[in-house]
Amino acid sequence: MWGTLPENVGTFQDLDGLMEFITVVVGLWFLAAMAMIIGFSLMFKAKPGVKAQYIAGNTGKQVGVLLGIVAAITMFDFMIDIRNVPLWNTIKMQIPAEGDQVGVLAKQWTWVFTHKTKAGNVTTEMFNDAGEYSDSANGAPKLHVRTGTKTIYSLNSEDVLHSFKINALRVTMDIIPGRTYKGWFEAVKPGTYDLACAEICGRGHGDMAGRLVVHTPDDYDKWVKAKGVTKADSAPKGVVVAHNAAH
């Protein structure tokens, strides 16, 4: 939004313009409402000798003014909807059929990412079985994706409400335990970006910092090779290993 958000490195570029548009529309109405509240309180404050009026809004003119305001607000609502609906359909309703599948498990207070690659599963999490940091020096669990291929994620929570948030991709999805949420994104610029939990989930909420690592396709293959894959039988039941496009 006017350069205040982190760089948008995904394909949901139109979201930024929509946010600016909504801010302008809502902001102008906010200013108008504030001006009226303050202006009218000064204009119509109690004066000696002037009796207070009780206006019930039942003359034609008064009803006309009210309906006019309602019509204007509804019109601005529609202007937002016209831009919002196609984006909502693309981002939330139409999950692509082809892409890299990744399982995201949120729990107090970390993320477990299960990358389903052609070769098998690669799981990255903060702690290994011995309770040591396993995926990176700073302990942040990393979600690995590549440019040129869509990532289709499947979200679950092991315990309480969490929210999967990647600012650089404009992705936010709440997670209610007991449900699975599917979504997707496509990153276009290699690099390392922040990933966070955006729902207060307990004492360690602030520890749920993760990283999104966007690789080039070649680097991604190298990473898969270097990490090795878990045994095929460790794949969660009912999960189909994705057929990777592009190579």
Strands (E), the chain: 100-107, 110-117, 120-125, 142-146, 151-157, 162-166, 171-175, 181-185, 191-197, 210-215
Residue 197 binds Cu ion (CB under 5 A): yes
What are the backbone dihedrals phi and psi of residue 117, each rounded to the nearest 5 degrees, phi first? Answer: -100, 170
Strands (E), 64-190: 100-107, 110-117, 120-125, 142-146, 151-157, 162-166, 171-175, 181-185
Residue 201 binds Cu ion (CB under 5 A): yes
Stretch binding Cu ion (CB under 5 A), from 38-46, 150-158, 192-200, 230-238: 192-200
Stretch binding Cu ion (CB under 5 A), from 49-57, 66-74, 138-146, 202-210: 202-210
Distance of CA 87 to the CA centre of its chain: 13
Residue 107 binds Cu ion (CB under 5 A): no
CB of 194: closest distance to Cu ion in angstroms? 14
Instruction: Report the residue number, 201 or 229, with the smaller CB distance to Cu ion.
Output: 201
* Both structure tokens of 12: 């949901």
Residue 118 and residue 138: Cα distance in Å, rounded?
28
Q: Which of residues 205-234 bind Cu ion (CB under 5 A)?
A: 205, 208
Number of chain positions touching Cu ion (CB under 5 A): 4
Instruction: Report the residue number, 81 or 158, with the smaller CB distance to Cu ion.
Output: 158
Residue whose entry in the numeric block shows the structure tokens 């979200």: 155
The DSSP 8-state label assigned to residue 64 in this structure reads H
Stretch binding Cu ion (CB under 5 A), from 116-124, 199-207, 219-227, 236-244: 199-207
CB of 54: closest distance to Cu ion in angstroms? 51
Residue 106 binds Cu ion (CB under 5 A): no
CB of 171: closest distance to Cu ion in angstroms? 15
Q: Provide the binding-site residues for Cu ion, judged by CB under 5 A.
A: 197, 201, 205, 208
